Structures are given as C-alpha cells and as structure tokens.
Chains A and B, each alone.
Chain A
Amino acid sequence: MIFQCEDLERALQSPELMPDARAHADRCPRCARELYLWEQISQAAPGLHEEWESPGLWPRIRAEIRADIAARPAPSPWFRWGRWALAAAAVMAIALFLLRPWKTTSPGHDFLTDDALKEVQQAEAAYAKSIDKLSAVAGPGLEQSPSPLAAAYREKLLLLDSEIEELKATVASNQYNAYLQAQLASLYREKQKTLQDWLQNAKRN
C-alpha cells in the first residue's frame, strides 16, 4: 500500500494500518506531528484521574442505608397477620420440642446460646479495650492537627462513636440478636481501621 497523508485518519482507527502510518510519518513532518499528538492524548489521559480522601463518605452511606432499613414501610395487615400466624406456629413447635411433655427432659440443652453470648461479650470488651489504646496513641495528634484531613477523620470518628453507642443501647435490649452483634462488630472494626489509617497517614507526613 502506498500510504498518503489522507490515509492517516483511517490508520488511527485500524491498528493494522499503523505500521504503514509510522513509516509514512518518518518522512512526513506534518503526519509525524499528528501521530505524536494522538499518542500524547492517550498518555496524558490517566493523569486526569481524580483522587482525594473522603473518610466521611462511607459512614454517611452506611447511616443512610440504616435509616432506609428503619424507614421501610410496614407490611400490609394481611401479610402481618400471616406472619403472626406463622410466628405463633413456630413458637408452639419450639415449645413442644423443648418441653417435650411426652418425655423426660434432659438438662443442659439451652446453655449453648448463653455461652456463645458470654464469649461474644468478652471478646467485645477486649476489642473495645484495644481500640481505646489505639485511640490514646492517635488522639493527641488527631485533636491538635488543624488540617482538613484531620477534621474529616475527627468527624468520622465522632459519627462512629455515636453509632456504636446507639447500637450498644439496642443490643442491650436484644442481646441474643446475632445480626445486631455482627453490626456492632463491624462498627468496631471500622473505628479500628480509621484510627490505623490516620496513624499511617500521620507517619507518612
């Protein structure tokens, strides 16, 4: 193929024509400039990716999700009655299974849940204590730093603390709810991660 200047645009769309285009550009300064600029655009483009810290964004999204869960419309009366009927049947079945009036009961079956709860509470206390230690290390630097990043971290930690307190109050009235316990665990992990992120960030700077 005899490559001419008019073929350049077509070559930019068809990789198989690029070797010819390059050979032509070696002899044609105008096409060489065009080709150079074309490649420069692709090379400069990744530099336009924008990245910035936003430690408060996920806690905001999570709070909105939780609010959404809380604000879900109540099911229709029919559905509610149906659920009550199902729940009543389930309670009856469990009661019959546990009491087994037709048999002598063997002790010790319902202690497993209590043991598990005790284990969770002990682990939670140990975890909270270790986070307190981490807070003591991160605290002075975080409180005194005037940077906007430190302010964002402070805001996030405040949000987390208030969510932890709120959830702890809910858990206290429903201790056997595994889902709530898991949510509380997740909040503690988030707080730990935030403190660690801040400390790493402080170390870098």
Chain B
Amino acid sequence: MVGVSQLTLTPGMNIEAFESDADLLAACRRRDVRAFEQVYQAHAPRLKSIAFHMTRNRQDAEDAVQEAFLKLYRAIDGFHGQSAIGTWLCRILINVCYDVQRKRQREADPEENPTPERQVEGEPTLAVALRQALMRINVRHRLVFLLFEVEGMRHSEIASILETPEGTCRAWLFEAKRELKRMLSEVRS
C-alpha cells in the first residue's frame, strides 16, 4: 500500500527516483508505471538513436522503442537481473528492429529504388560519407560499431546485449572500421 506521504501532491515536485537498480527493478516487477517511466527517461534517447540507425526512419524508430517497452513490461517477471535493465531493454529493442526490417523487406516493392541517404545540412563531409558507408557494411559489424563508437557503450555491455563473447565483439568492431576505412579511402581517391 502506498503511504500517504507519497500521495501528497506538492507543486513543483519531480518524479521520485528509485535510487538503486534493485529498487527500480522491484518497482518494475510491481508494475509501478513510475518505475517504467524512470527507465524510459534514462534510456530513451540512446534507444531512439539505435532504432533510427536500424530502421532508417524516425517514426519506425519511435514505434520500435514503444514496442520494446511493452515487451519489457510484459516480460519483467522473467528478468532476474542477470544484466542491467538498460542492457536487457537494448537487446529487446534490437530484436524488435530486426522484426521491423523484415516486415519492411516483405512490404518493399522490388521495383522501387531504396530511399537515398539524406544529407543533414551543415554536416561535415566525413560524417556524410561515414553515414553512407555504414549502411553498406556487414549487419553485425555495423551494429557493434553503432553501439561502441556512436552510442559509447562498453564492450562488456555490447557482449551482453548481443550474447556474444567480448573478444568477438572487439573483432567485429575492428572489421567494421576496416570496411569503413576501405570505403572512405575509395571515396577520397
């Protein structure tokens, strides 16, 4: 039962923070919507960016994040804290994005040309070339590159998300950069 002190509404009061991961997870298991909101506030920006790079579309990216949260909510009883909740959520999101990609491939008209890569106004040339080259490299290599170099995740987290040994993740990152370097060299020469 929620205590009266927690119910009292004070203007200007922010959402209470669950201080430890254990508190947060316990609250999520109680289906406390505020706990899920805290998870959302902490992880949504990174999740949206990852989903965007995988689906190449902001609307699809938001839909994927929404779906990932619902899956998290429904499966929270099966999560026993083997990894951080954000890591688990990221794994769910990546699987959702794969589903979106498969759906898009089924729906795509084979006659239709793929959407050209957009160029952001004022974006440095290298960033544009990198964005385009990234779309052409191996999917697993790309994913590791995105998580490590773009989103700043650690190899241990990435290994947990992809359920792959850390050494393999490092090797995939190296392969990704090697492929990107080769493509960028071709563009420059």
Contact = CB atoms under 8 A, between A and B. Distances in A.
A158 B184 CA distance: 48
A46 interface: yes
Given A37-B184, A57-B62, A130 B11 contact: yes
B62 A189 contact: no
A123 B8 contact: yes
B44 interface: yes
A178 B1 CA distance: 7
Contacts of B154: none
Interface residues of A, number: 49
Contacts of A13: 174
Contact of B174 (A12, A57, A60): A12
Interface stretch (A87-95, A103-111, A179-187): A179-187
B185 interface: yes
B66 to A, nearest CB: 5
B124 A44 contact: yes
Contact of A68 (B7, B37, B74): B74
Interface stretch (A16-24, A48-56, A77-85, A139-147): A48-56
From DSSP, what is the main secondary structure of chain B's interface residues? helix
Contacts of B149: 41-42, 45-46
Given A41-B180, A57-B65, A178-B1, A49 B150 contact: yes
A49 B10 CA distance: 37
A49 B7 contact: no
A40 interface: yes
Contact of A51 (B9, B45, B174, B180): B45
A69 interface: yes
Given A13-B174, A62-B37, A64-B66, A52 B58 contact: yes
Contact of A179 (B2, B9, B13): B2
Interface of B: 1-4, 6-15, 31, 33-34, 36-37, 40, 44-45, 48-49, 52-53, 58, 61-62, 65-66, 69-70, 73-74, 123-124, 126-127, 130-131, 134, 145-146, 149-152, 174, 177-178, 180-181, 184-185, 188
Interface of A: 9, 12-13, 34, 37-38, 40-42, 44-52, 54, 57-58, 60-62, 64-66, 68-69, 116, 119-120, 123-124, 126-127, 130-131, 178-179, 181-183, 185-186, 188-189, 192-193
